[in-house]
Structure 1
Amino acid sequence: MPTPARLHVAHALHEVFGEKGRVPDIWDRDLGEDAALAQALLGLCLRRWGRLQAWVKPKLKDPARGVPLGTQVALAMGLVQLAWLPGVSDHAAVNEAVELAATRDLGFVPHKGLVNAILRRAAKDRAGLAAELEALPATLDRPPAAERALRAALVPHGAVADLEVLWARLQQPPRPSFRVLAGEPPEGLVPDPQLPDCLRLAEGLPFPRPWLEAGHGMVQDRSSQALLSYRWDRPVTRILDACAAPGGKTTTLARRHPGAQLTALEVHPRRVARLRQTLQQRGIEAQVVQADAAEWLERSEGAFDLILLDAPCSGSGTIQKHPEWPWLVHDDLPRLTGLQRRLLTAAAERLAPGGLIIYAVCSWLPEEGIAHRDWLAEARPDLRPTAVWPAALGAPAEVEGELTACFRPHPLRWEGEGFQAFALTR
């Protein structure tokens, strides 16, 4: 029987390549010390999936027929351990993959011998295997959806020629960022030189899980922290966080504007429960409302001085954090852009005179970001772009002196998720 860590990885790979679903956020939560191995194994399988399959193909008796997903998963996991995880022994890498191939729900029993033969040959020269895999074209790991996302990230900065450089950077696991909620940070968290309140984990030090579980800090991506470092000096008494779960941005809004009435919307019951729990643990007072944001905004009569609309999106800017993204089916973009436009329209109706609305998506695709701003400029001339972020966080054409009204950091000069955002005032 394969170890729990390898079984968890196999289930995640079947979810991505069999069901075209995302890797669940809590897929490794019960693995304990084995979580590090599982995370490394899954990340490498997802980031090298194309070249792993290309390497196997000519070793098959009939390459044109291909192999079932269970065989693909077992071989990919075995090859990754042999090529890039030197701490795993030959025996463990090969035998666990063979056992995985022999399981009826995750493998393909008739190919147990095939998996064994291919991996045993590969194990004879692990360095040579790694070199062969690395020599294969990086484009094998980059489906068309990823290619389009990379170009969208680079075009505003005139840097399309650096596509391969960006892709290579996105293949490295992201370095987590944190914020202090109470007391002093633990040893190993160091200040970010570009963001005063942002902390980074020093290389080689353990993840500060006890500190986080005690409620003394929170994980928050660097781009999210920069997004919420907007400069705004007008009075803010009523705030709306329109798509609030899991609560990181809600927490930051409450701490930036103490005393303001804060309303947090979320539609999914489980995410609502998590949002309430998070805010309660952090001592944040907010009215949490379970509702569809668009419907709630359309029937509401209240006005808000500050609205954050972190809208549902394709997530194309999260490739580094979610290496499964390139392999998913991305056929719902028309639905998403329609929803985003509806949310923007409804949110604009709830913005008080002199108020600020920040629209954001963790996507590089222009139709999910800048295109909405251009459309809204025609539909709502009473809404005006307002520069609230440092110029370094914008594309060159959108900078006004020292500030910008459009948040689009250069993807090669900025370490963080790929966000687009714009700010409007009424």
Structure 2
Amino acid sequence: MIVEGVLMAENIIKVTLDVDELPKTWYNILPDLPEPLPAALHPATKEPLRPEEWEALFPKGLVRQELSEETDIRIPDEVREALIRIGRPTPLYRAKRLEDALKTPARIYYKREDVSPAGSHKPNTAIAQAYFNYSEGIEHLTTETGAGQWGSALSAAASYFGMKCTVFMVRSSYDSKPYRKYVMKLFGADVIPSPSDTTEYGRCMLKKDPGCSGSLGIAISEAIEIAMKSERTKYSLGSVLNHVMLHQTVIGLETKKQLEKIGEKPDKLIACVGGGSNFAGFTFPFIRDKMKGKNDIRFIAVEPKSVPSLTGVAEGTSRYEYDFGDTAGMTPLLKMHTLGHDFIPETIHAGGLRYHGMAPTVSLLYDHGIIDAEAIGQEDTFTASRLFTRTEGIIPAPESSHAIASAISHALECKKTGDPGVIVFNLSGHGLLDLQNYANIFSL
């Protein structure tokens, strides 16, 4: 039976939205935070960054969004059209076969961000960033990528607007995920393993450690160095900053509509975190309601045990303080939960989560106890992803599998207590280009 975008059968609940229901505005959480977000600081003077100083890296349109105090920011028609072209709005599914395998009374739902051409949520901001750069005459974008999902998304978005794109890919992922670089190259991007001999900073890192596996912080430094030295070139960031969180809120805004269509009120919203963008995009529209006393949802950010930027606070390995977003210290200083900008994490398969810091907005919410955090090890993550693959028929990205592992854990708690809770998680990307990692873990 299909009623107003809801397919309901004995074992299937799929909730879709019409293209006219794609949000017309992004949600900006800054005005609703429990305290003002601490200002970004100039890396040299340590003074609050002025708008014109932000513009050394980003176009004026994105800088306005970064600093805006408007709650709802209009999505340009050109961006909405591009989002529709890549498959938005995305569907919400009930994980009935997973529930049955767990024998849990919990109802589990997942938002499918894996259905975009890039295979993840990243195009939601890549398209917006490329548009605002293009509209101001920028011809070339530089960026970093870990697992390759952000690099793939920005490469596609740059191609859509006829722009050049250079991607510095963390070397450990460049070597272990070759098909991601092929995707980027097909879209016309230059893909460079980081650290590289292309930049002064890359050469410095290779001199210190010729076998360096790289990190997102190092790759960011290289991308910024190229952007700062080239005309009509700007840097694009796939996570952390407020304008990126803003663009991703289409996920949560859609999810709210979909849950309302089937009369479900979630008890827990779960997403993986590296820099924080898919978690923010998924949860912020619901957090707005919680801060207004309209729900009592528990929001859970799930990170790798080896990169505990949030959960490491309890152990003293992470701190909530000002730090650089990159390893070289070229970015503005941001107040965030950080492991230290010189932190180089283990070479785990979830390359997109190998970042030393957490988005300032997410960090502030965690510091105020509005969101919770969990850390899960790689073995448990892949065990959960295999069960999800065999029950729901989707191979998830290693990053997204952290959210799946948490959802399974909470569903099993419901089994113990008999509580029929409602658990919703964000399936932020697929793992079809991560099969070598699955082969390595399971000896396939």
Give the TM-score normalised by structure 1: 0.30
Q: Identify, as 1 or 2, the structure richer in helix.
A: 1
